[in-house]
Amino acid sequence: MCADTSPAGKDVLGFEPSRHISGDVIANLARRRMRWHRKYPRIEDAQHKSFTRPFKRFISKGVPHHLRPNVWRLSASRFAQKYNRKHEDVPILNGSALLQQARSNPHALTIDEDTLMQIKMDMPRTFPEHAEFKEGAHIYEELGHVLRVFAHLHPHIGYCQAMNFLAGVLLLTTRDAEATLSLLQCIVLVYMPDRYTSEMKVQDDVKILQRALNTPRYAHVRSALEDAGVDVTFFAVKWLLMLFVDALPSDQLLVLWDLFFLWGRRVLLQAALFLLHEHVEDLRARPDVNHVMDVLKDLGRTRALTPQAFAHGITQHGGGVVPKLV
Amino acid sequence: MATRKKVLLKVIILGDSGVGKTSLMNQYVNRKFSNQYKATIGADFLTKEVTVDDRLVTMQIWDTAGQERFQSLGVAFYRGADCCVLVFDVTVPRSFESLEAWRDEFLIQASPRDPEHFPFVVLGNKVDLKDNRAITENRAKSWCDEKGNIPYFETSAKEATKVETAFLTIARAALQQEKDEDIYHDFKDAVNLDDVPDKKQDGCGC
Ligand SMILES: Nc1nc2c(ncn2[C@@H]2O[C@H](COP(=O)(O)OP(=O)(O)OP(=O)(O)O)[C@@H](O)[C@H]2O)c(=O)[nH]1
Ligand SMILES: [Mg+2]
């Protein structure tokens, strides 16, 4: 059967595992895989009309890793359609020809010097600890191609630091530059508009979080942060721009991305509230700025939740304070 | 005042992407260099306890993202800084030319009480790359002199050159700044400048 394969001793994305995943979580994943297989034997053919309630519910209960490329593609194209009905059309361009060009002749693309330099500088600083992100490795080179083609296609955005991490996780999941390029465009243009330009609208998202934390429901979190002298900006900017890459262990990160592609940016805000709430005891343990930041920078030390539990936790937060933004 | 309160010094490191801010901070705090650091998104910080002229202080060192578009996020990180470190890469002229903009941006966003005398320190980093050197020590020094005698150090985060010395100067400058602020606040409290009845109206529409 199609197991969630990974190199020996590594997690699904090939990173050093940050913690132990208990047997019942693993059993749960296997069960979901079976059920997906039975219910959607030909997921590859599914069009977005298949976004019926059961399909969405299936996604929120955890997507088998090998189906993610397809499920993310379906979620994203549905989301982009909805978005385009409300806003001016965002061009998600097909970059396969350009990717081919980038591979054979890097000078074929028109990209300004600064952008090229920045991409070159960030490639080795993406996942330096990961075997596939060493100079010369296939995925590493593809990262460069994807980022350069993106910059060529969307010169008003070019390249923003953080996009390297997003493209990196997309490449490790889809193992395909074309799929990565199209999902990266969806994230940057549709799901997170103006978050990666000098407008840095991520500040609006941080404000929503701050407002949420000022409600009585989050008084415990707020006081834990205040006692340690930690401002929401310290960690939230990074969480949001990196879609929690680096903060969450791979298994939980991918579940979050499943939901993000389905429901959009608000999932990130809800997840932030949920994670703060979940870790409040840990935060309170020592009202010290270093301690609190250490906890928030690496949320991998806590127990692994099943995808359902994680998704459920997320949906329990942000109601009434996090706008349903599309 | 009988008891000395614990001193926390906040230091901000600014400079173009790739000049070595993260590497410098880690060399100073953890005494090691690694080429495994990731690009900095938003900002990060590390703290270090140091003794400066017989006083034990905690330095909170903020390492910020270098890419220009992140600048608008600065306010949140710059607030309350006691010293600002400007870093350039001695092999990249552009990074040197950016120093002025970084300094101005800091003064605008942090808006220190006395911008004329706010302490800066400049670091010309990567001096180990001798063959690629593009900015001479003299050129860097004269810029620093022009801007009000900013202390200048030639560092290598890779080889730990002058890192310790530079940060000691940074700590001293920050401590001095902190003291000046304290005196100002003590003075303010003493004369009760703020002793104006709170005029907050009820029913404000916020
Ligand atoms: N030879 C040499 N290389 C250095 C030195 N300091 C940093 N580097 C290298 O320069 C590159 C950038 O270093 P970082 O410390 O990540 O740069 P940064 O200023 O934090 O960059 P951003 O996070 O993008 O703003 C890395 O490859 C480092 O290994 C140095 O003193 N000598
Ligand atoms: Mg850095």
| pLDDT attached to residue B130 | 96
Tally C-beta pairs within 8 A across A and B: 69
Q: What is the mean pLDDT of residues A267-296?
A: 94
| pLDDT attached to residue B204 | 43
Judge whether residue B197 has pLDDT over 90.
Answer: no
Identify the helix (H) or strand (E) that includes residue B63.
strand B55-64
| pLDDT attached to residue B200 | 44
Which among A118, A162, A231 has CB closest to B41?
A: A162
Q: What is the longest distance spanned by two Cα atoms in chain A?
A: 58
Q: What is the mean pLDDT of residues A142-152?
A: 97
Residue B203 pLDDT class (50, 70, 90 cuts): very low
Q: Which amino acid is at A204?
A: D
Q: How far apart are CA A197 and CA B49, in angstroms?
A: 37
Give the up-direction half-sphere exposure of residue B134: CA atoms within 13 A in the CB hemisphere.
11
**Residues whose CB is less than 8 angstroms from the CB of residue B136 and which lie 6 or more positions away in sequence, other chains included:** none
With an 8 Å Cβ cutoff, is B43 touching chain A?
A: yes
Q: How far apart are CA A274 and CA A217, in angstroms?
A: 12
List CB contacts (< 8 A) between A197 and chain B: 69
In B82-136, which ranges are continuous DSSP H helix? 93-97, 99-110
Judge whether residue B206 has pLDDT over 50.
Answer: no
Percentage above 90 pLDDT, chain A: 68
Computed over every residue of chain B, the mean pLDDT equals: 89
Given an 8 Å threshold on Cβ–Cβ distance, is A125 in contact with B39? yes
With an 8 Å Cβ cutoff, is B72 touching chain A?
A: yes
Q: How far apart are CA A196 and CA A201, in angstroms?
A: 8
Q: What is the mean pLDDT of residues A88-93?
A: 80
What tens digit of pLDDT does each residue of A171-210 get? Answer: 999 999 999 999 999 999 999 999 999 999 999 999 999 9
Give the residue, B198 or A208, on which the prediction is more confident: A208
Give me A256's structure tokens: 């979050």
**Residues whose CB is less than 8 angstroms from the CB of residue B149 and which lie 6 or more positions away in sequence, other chains included:** none
Which among B38, B47, B73 has CB closest to A200?
A: B73
3-state secondary structure of B123: strand
| pLDDT attached to residue B5 | 66
| pLDDT attached to residue B205 | 39
Q: How far apart are CA B36 and CA A14, in angstroms?
A: 17
Query: By the 8 A CB rule, do A162 and A123 touch?
Result: no
What tens digit of pLDDT does each residue of B97-106 get? Answer: 999 999 999 9
Which residue has the CA at smallest separation from atom 23 of ligand 1? B40
Judge whether residue B187 has pLDDT over 90.
Answer: no
| pLDDT attached to residue A231 | 93
Query: By the 8 A CB rule, do A148 and A181 touch?
Result: no
Residue B202 pLDDT class (50, 70, 90 cuts): very low
Judge whether residue B153 has pLDDT over 50.
Answer: yes
| pLDDT attached to residue A214 | 95
Nearest CA to A293 among B85, B189, B44, B194? B44
CATH topology of domain B7-33+42-180: Rossmann fold (3.40.50)
Distances (CA, A) of B64 to A15, A264, B119, B151, B174: 26, 28, 18, 21, 18
Give the residue, A244 or B190, on which the prediction is more confident: A244
List CB contacts (< 8 A) between B95 and chain A: none
* Every domain of chain B and the residues it spans: 7-33+42-180
| pLDDT attached to residue A106 | 78
| pLDDT attached to residue A83 | 87
Which among A122, A198, A246 has CB closest to B69?
A: A198
Judge whether residue B1 has pLDDT over 60.
Answer: no
Give me A273's structure tokens: 């509230």
Identify the helix (H) or strand (E) that includes residue A309.
helix A307-315
CA A7 to chain centre: 22
Q: What is the mean pLDDT of residues A14-29?
A: 84
String of DSSP letters for A115-174:
HHHHHHHHSTTSSTTSGGGSTT-HHHHHHHHHHHHHHHH-TTT---TTHHHHHHHHHHHH
| pLDDT attached to residue A13 | 95
Domains of chain A: 96-191 (1.10.8.270), 202-315 (1.10.472.80)
> What distance in Å separates residue A2's CA from the closest CA in chain B?
33
Q: Cα(first)–Cα(last) distance of chain B, in Å?
A: 41
Q: What is the mean pLDDT of residues B79-93?
A: 97
For residue A160, the CA-to-ligand 2 centroid distance in Å is: 14
Q: What is the mean pLDDT of residues A33-46?
A: 79
CA B52-A228-B46 angle, to 5 degrees, is 45
In terms of C-beta distances under 8 Å and separation of at least 24 residues, what long-range contacts does A246-249 make, across chains too?
A246/A165, A246/A297, A246/B38, A247/A296, A247/A297, A247/A298, A247/A299, A248/A299, A248/A300, A249/A11, A249/A17, A249/A18, A249/A19, A249/A299, A249/A300, A249/A304
Judge whether residue B199 has pLDDT over 50.
Answer: no
Computed over every residue of chain A, the mean pLDDT equals: 90
| pLDDT attached to residue B176 | 93
Q: Cα(first)–Cα(last) distance of chain A, in Å?
A: 37
Which among B33, B40, B41, B97 is the top mutation candidate for probing chain A, defined by the most A β-carbons within 10 Å of its own β-carbon? B41
Judge whether residue A255 has pLDDT over 90.
Answer: yes
| pLDDT attached to residue B179 | 85
Collect all residues from A whose CB is shorter than 8 A from any CB in B. 118, 121-122, 124-129, 160-162, 164-165, 196-200, 202-203, 231, 233-234, 237-238, 241-242, 246, 289-290, 293
